Amino acid sequence: PRQVLIEVLVAEITLTDDTRLGIDWAIREGKFTLGSVSQALGTGSSTTTLGLPAAAFRGAASLFGPAAQGLTAFTFNTGQFFVLLNTLASLNKVNIVSNPHVLTSENKKAVINVSTSVPIVTSQQTTTTSPVITGGSTTTSTIGGTNQTVEYKDAGVILTVTPRIGERGTVALDVKQEVNDIGAGVPPTGSPSFIKREAETSVVLLNNQTLVLGGLIKDKLTVDDRGIPLLKDIPILGLVFGFKERKVEKTELILLITPRVIGTPLDAARITEEMRRATPSIDEAIKRAPRPPSIRPPAPAPAPDAPAPRQPDPAP
């Protein structure tokens, strides 16, 4: 059977004044001149930029349906969107969460789970102290302790993709996206609550074309410890020389999904070579690793007939 390599990039983008309503909105308003077609899911409206026809967006009028209002999807030439990401990364506005690659057969489901298992107390039983009468005297019998039943739930992104290879170099993808965020604790156990958002869609892409899923915008609180070094760390007195700055930033979680059809052994060899080149070898990684100033690579050994290199004179 033919196979499809599913490349996924999960990135968290810090939104600026130009992108505060989301990357999709910024592209519509011409904040980035990269050429694209964009569509808001759940609304049925489509927008084109740089003269591209609306028909270039391959998908239904409402991809995710009413349950996913606010979620967005748009297609890009793979190289174009990475230019946009590199631009944002140069401004320290991009955090790459994960970049998994999954190889699956046609019509077979591929599951990508980028999450953390969080313990949840589902039930709790606490025993108490009670008096016991034996032979006319009263004693106290204590059966202490708390019994809890704990289950684990995934917090993060779970992506399910089922590819179908079409004609003329197209790939149909059935995509299900589930995002679980940790919320506030819930009494009486104090276990965290979960905010669940999920959506399903079916789209048709060209081979090696990128589908971008976005619209998952949330507020992120950061606390910076500012002040005069050393003095701000003194107990009580440090309050005079330092302060904590709280900032609320808007972030958008985006998923880039790129299918690559592997129909022949030559395709497999080509993609394998591309991935090998993209992944530096261990030797290259060690050579490129930064070294402390006190550690220097050893001097090359002299040739058999060459004089030994002269050692530098000690500093006065």
Residue 163: pLDDT band by 50, 70, 90 thresholds?
A: very high
Dihedral angle over CA of 73, 96, 85, 216, nearest 10: 30
Is the pLDDT higher at 49 or at 78?
78
- Ranking 4-8, 32-36, 51-55, 210-214 by mean pLDDT, the lowest is 51-55
- Residue 159: name the closest of 120, 198, 190, 189 by CA: 198
Is the pLDDT higher at 175 or at 58?
175
Residue 170: pLDDT band by 50, 70, 90 thresholds?
A: confident
Contact 27, 127 (CB under 8 A): no
Tens of pLDDT, residues 118-145? 888 777 776 665 555 555 554 544 455 6
Note the pLDDT of residue 12. 82
Tens of pLDDT, residues 222-265? 777 777 887 777 887 777 777 777 777 777 788 888 898 887 88
pLDDT at 44 over 50: no
Give the dihedral sign, CA 46/47/51/57. negative
How do the domains of the chain map onto residue ranges?
3-279
Is the pLDDT higher at 126 or at 40?
126
Q: What are phi and psi of 52, to 5 degrees?
A: -80, 140
When mean pLDDT is compared over 81-90, 139-148, 237-246, 299-308, the highest value belongs to: 237-246
Instruction: Name the E strands within 136-239.
Output: 137-142, 146-165, 170-186, 191-206, 209-227
Residue 107, number of CB atoms within 10 A of its CB = 14
- Average pLDDT for 68-76: 53
| Averaged pLDDT of the chain | 68
